[in-house]
Amino acid sequence: MEENIRKVVEAARESLEAAERLGIREPEPLNQLVQKMGRITGMYPIPHLAVEVCCGYYISTIQELREKKHNEDAVSRAGQIAYCSVLPRLSDSETIRDFIACVVHGMAIGAIPSSEGTRLLYGAQVAHSALPSPKRHKKRIKSTKKTPGNQPPTPTPSMT
């Protein structure tokens, strides 16, 4: 299974490199790429793919720049940029979870400084709280039904 994931990630990386050679700079959002790769391989959901993609970009960038004998500070900063450039977009709860996994892993391996990681995690928390929640919606509906001001007045028997 892990070998299959590596093959899928490598194929995705090759596709992105081919797109760059053609002058296409903006890759499609990671969640769409994951969905396509999952459909093609029949392995959706793919565990830890977002983290694998972020780490892959980070490692390949660092290796490439070290081979070219660049300054270690520049190599580190370029690795950070590469890692963060492929973070999942905060579009739904699944990609928010992937984003959090990538940020925490990036902080653990030193790809993301802790101060920047803290800001990114806060952003994920805000994005998550902004998502519509079916539970919150149901609670709101229930609470409005129970309030006396929202109920129609009870008809009283008329005195005739």
Q: What angle do CA 46, 47, 50 make, to 5 degrees?
A: 85
Q: What is the pLDDT of residue 34?
A: 63
Give pLDDT tens digits for 90-131.
Answer: 888 888 999 999 999 999 999 999 999 999 999 999 999 998
Q: What is the pLDDT of residue 9?
A: 74
- pTM of the entire structure? 0.57
Q: What is the pLDDT of residue 100?
A: 94
Among 30-44, 60-74, 142-156, which is the least confidently predicted range? Answer: 142-156
Give pLDDT tens digits for 66-99.
Answer: 898 888 888 889 999 989 988 998 888 888 999 9
Can you tell me the distance from the alpha carbon of 102 to that of 108, in angstroms, rounded to the nearest whole number? Answer: 10
Q: What is the pLDDT of residue 53?
A: 86
Continuous H helices in the chain = 2-21, 30-41, 49-67, 72-85, 93-109, 114-130, 134-146
Can you tell me the distance from the alpha carbon of 40 to that of 3, in angstroms, rounded to the nearest whole number? Answer: 16
Whether a cis peptide bond, with omega within 30° of 0, leads into 152 is: no
Pick the residue with more confidence: 40 or 153?
40
